[in-house]
Amino acid sequence: MKRIAVLAATTAALVAVPAGEALAKPRYAATITRTTFGIPHIEARDWRGVGYGVAYAYAEDNLCLLAEEFATVAGERSRFWGPAAKAVLGFEEVDNLSSDVFFRAVIDLPALREGAKTLSPRVQDLLAGYVAGYNRFLKDAGTEGIPAECRGKAWVRPITADDMLRMNEKQMLLASSLNLAPAIANAAPPGSPAPKVAINMPDPKELGIGSNGWAFGSEVTATGRGMLIGNPHFPWKGPSRFWQMHVKGPGGYEVMGVGLAGTPMPTLGFNKDVAWTHTVTEARHFTLYQLALDPADATRYMVDGKSEAMTPQTVTVPMPEGTPALTRTLYSTRWGPVFVVPSRGITWSAASAFALKDANRGNQRGIETWLRIGEAKKVGEVQAAISETLGIPWVNTIAADRFGDALHADITAVPNVGAEKAKACATPIAGLFAELAILLDGSKAACDWDKAPGTPVPGLMPASDQAATTVKTWLTNSNDSYWISNPAMPYRQLSPVLGRYATPRSLRTRSNFTETAALIAGGKIDHARAQAHAFANKSLAADMVMDDIGGLCVTPDPLPEAAVRGCKALASWDRRFEADSRGAALFRAFWPKAARLPGLWAVPFDPADPVNTPRTLATEGAKGEKLLAALGEAVAELDAAAIALDAPWGEVQRVVAGNDAIPIHGGPGTLGILNMQESVSVPGGLTPRHGTSYIQIVGFDDKGPVADAILSYSQSTNPASPHAHDQTRAYAAKQWHRLPFSAEAIAAETIAPPKRIAE
């Protein structure tokens, strides 16, 4: 059954091509071959065919998800699901009305259409092919072929080029403006009714956005070639799920990896010479501007002493049938849209307001950038691709090649605002925003972003002013700034736009450095050792504090009953988050409470020793009492959730698949766990919301790439698909899959006749 070869492919071609088209040269054509876990291998002779095949295969696995996302970016959620309902927008839940207003106001479709005319012919072909492939699937599926979850729904419809332009724009804004959608959608002049929805200004670190990436060079690998571990942390549900694909296109293009919903080719993966991954960068991709308003009119603002009118934009959002459409007017400035976050003091008063300028708004360069990365033969070409296009929106790039070079490049589309300008243009309240964004004085034209020669868009920071390192040893990133990719070689200080310098690193970053150093010290790295490294499930927080907690537990003074029970449960814990670890659930509940206590560490942070400081739990006197009280609170929390203190972690954190409960290892990154899983409460336990997703370990031999991978949440969101949970079970068992890249390997793993589609 697994060796269905050329005859089957020929037969499939004759069946799948519509009558009357077999003799004519098709405008769109692709062949889709599925292997173990339903991974599609898409082959096409041109870029139209690549997009065509990718869209068709993705729709086979995730039609309902993708159709809903096209409705989202079109600003139609209120119409189909009601204005008050919520859905995931980017990484957080947002009410449908705010989502619709945001997309209808912020996505400048006429400008995107004009910009699309300047895209390379192959990018235009890819997008056109994706539209055709998605629509072809709808035609082939018919009413009965649509999954039950979205069968007969009006929002499942053919798409146009505009839908792809909106989708791409949304992906570019995913870690910037999109997180402020309610803040923009509900901004109104003084005297207007107060917003009816909660508005936040989330910190990406609080969102759980993250990832780990490692690039190992020839000096530390068993083969003497480069090796990469990619461990992006992305949502388990919604359009930001990864999906595996292997694409073979024109000009020798051949890449295997993953993309998000609506992505027409892999954006993270490998070819025969280079492997790469991404981690969300700490760089800020927008700046905020504080406006001084015209005393005579709160919809006008002052720049260099002159009054300028804000630009009003009225958007109309369709409501469910029988309900009148809603109209809302938003305002924009030379700096971007006005926004409000009342909980943080960001309001629109008679005297001041705030606006946001986003470096990724209108960024249509990303697809070409990723195509160039996919064509790279060495990491230097990867760096050239991201540097010349500045098309990467919000992620670090970590890469290794067969020649033994390792790269970490924190080069993205960011505002060209240096330290001097940030200081000169700071307003009196700029310090209040320092952790989240750079606030500039909008009353001075000179506070606009600096223009540097050679950038694709004026005002972007050139790559030469950003961070990139290539070595033969190793580099890594776990979402902290460019400052340290390897403790032996800290980077020089750059613009504050690019992140924090000489400040405490997260526990996950510190765990990364500690565990990677131990990995290197243990000998040359091969696939088996890399696999164990990725799924070690150690908690640096536990390793740092459990001995001290144990000391508090043996005090001669009587302890509260809850603390006694907590001490007993933690005493036998292995300090890991394996499926069979007992006590992990209690520590997960305890540590966030303890970490908030003032004066937690006896040894403060030292920028000369960022890996090992701060450290040593402060337990004397009242501080110890507060730690035990936090432990008692954690016990009460688990009691209220009916979770046994010594329950195996895999019985607490799990995924329900039909009648089965799949145990999920890994835990929160805030506990210093590299295999991150951020979970939400469900009856009787927890289920993953965000964390380890597509994990790839890629090396090279004389023939090509050698890649092991797992997609933790599996390929399909269709519950009826055999590939809805198959890789989740593999992830639970730590069963890695050697990805089939060569023709021989693909033939050996083929699970169904190849499908030829054309029109």
> Do 397 and 386 form a contact (C-beta atoms < 8 A)?
yes
Q: Residue 541 burial (CB < 10 Å; 0-12/13-18/19+)?
A: buried
Listed in sequence order, the residues at least 6 apart from 428 whose beta carbon sits closer than 8 Å to its beta carbon are none
Non-local (6+) Cβ contacts of 648 within 8 A are: 579, 580, 581, 582, 663
Strand partners, 89: 92
Distance in angstroms (rounded) separating the CA atoms of residues 130 and 47: 10
DSSP three-state, residue 12 = helix
Token look-up 């504090």 returns 545
Dist. CA 405–CA 403, nearest whole Å: 6
Q: Which two tokens stand for residue 212?
A: 């780990």
Is-contact 711 269, C-beta < 8 A?
no
Cα–Cα–Cα angle for 222, 224, 229, rounded to 5 degrees: 70
Catalytic residue among 78, 211, 481, 679: 211
Query: How far is Cα 425 from Cα 253, in angstroms, rounded to an integer?
Result: 46
Q: Phi/psi zone of residue 522: left (φ > 0), alpha (ψ -120 to 50 degrees), beta?
A: alpha
Residue 655 pairs in a beta bridge with 662
Two tokens at 414? Answer: 């960011």
Amino acid at position 325, single letter: A
| Rounded Cα–Cα distance for residues 357 and 635 (Å) | 46
DSSP code for 434? T
In sequence order, the 6+-apart residues with CB closer than 8 A to the CB of 746 are 33, 35, 41, 246, 740
Three-state secondary structure call for residue 731: helix
Q: Point out which residues pair with 345 in neighbouring strands.
A: none
| Range list of H helices, 572-691 | 584-595, 621-640, 649-652
Q: Which two three-digit tokens encode residue 696?
A: 């790839």
| 743: alpha, beta or left? (left if phi > 0; alpha if psi -120 to 50) | alpha
Q: Which helix (H) or strand (E) holds 165?
A: helix 161-172
Q: What secondary structure, in 3-state letters, does 74-142 show?
A: CCCHHHHHCCCCEEEECCEEEEHHHHHHHHHHHCCHHHHHHHHCCCCHHHHHHHHHHHHHHHHHHHHHH
Q: Tell me which DSSP letter residue 36 carries.
A: G
352 a catalytic residue: no
Catalytic residues, which ones? 211
